């Protein structure tokens, strides 16, 4: 009788253990799909942009939990709620694109991905990712 109870208890604990969510689950945020910090790259450079925990949509209207990618070259993330500038170092992907080709001069550059809402207002540092790449000839 005692053994049966022990087996049942063991089975129950293993079921509970299996139901726990995996600890390796990826965090929400933006990320470079094809690049890592410190990469040596050639120009023109293909940049693939990914996001977890928010949905991509074309720019135009504000919708909570949705937005589009921005790529900031040799700059910083944009504070939450502030508009992402639009110039040659702040690229907007307002059609919901996830890939672009960049021409960069040789040497070190930082690339910052910044997610922002449909009105181009930044979701802040939590929704940014910065890497350093070195362009070799
Ligand atoms: Cu934008």
pLDDT tens, 51-88? 999 999 999 999 999 999 999 999 999 999 999 999 99
Q: Identify any residues that bridge with 112 across adjacent strands, giving them in sequence order.
A: 72, 130
Q: Is the pLDDT of residue 16 over 80?
A: no
Distance 66 CA to ligand 1 centre (A): 12
Cβ contacts of residue 101 below 8 Å, gap of 6+?
44, 45, 46, 47
The pTM of this model reads: 0.82
CA 88 to chain centre: 21
Distance 126 CA to ligand 1 centre (A): 17
Domain ranges of the chain: 25-135
Distance 20 CA to ligand 1 centre (A): 38
Top-tier CATH class for 25-135: mainly beta
Distance 82 CA to ligand 1 centre (A): 11
Structure tokens at 19: 């139901």
Peptide bond preceding 11 in cis form (omega within 30 of 0) = no
């Amino acid at each position: 009788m005692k053994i049966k109870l022990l087996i049942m208890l063991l089975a129950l604990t293993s079921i509970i253990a299996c139901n726990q969510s995996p600890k390796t689950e990826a965090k929400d945020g933006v990320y470079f799909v094809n690049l890592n910090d410190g990469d040596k790259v050639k120009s023109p450079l293909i940049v693939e942009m990914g996001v977890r925990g928010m949905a991509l949509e074309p720019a135009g209207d504000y919708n909570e939990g949705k937005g589009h990618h921005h790529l900031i070259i040799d700059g910083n993330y944009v504070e939450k709620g502030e508009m992402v500038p639009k110039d040659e170092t702040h690229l907007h992907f307002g059609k919901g694109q996830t890939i672009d080709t960049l021409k960069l001069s040789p040497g070190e550059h930082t690339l910052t991905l910044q997610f922002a809402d449909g009105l181009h207002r930044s979701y802040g540092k939590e929704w940014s990712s910065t890497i350093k790449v070195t362009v070799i000839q």
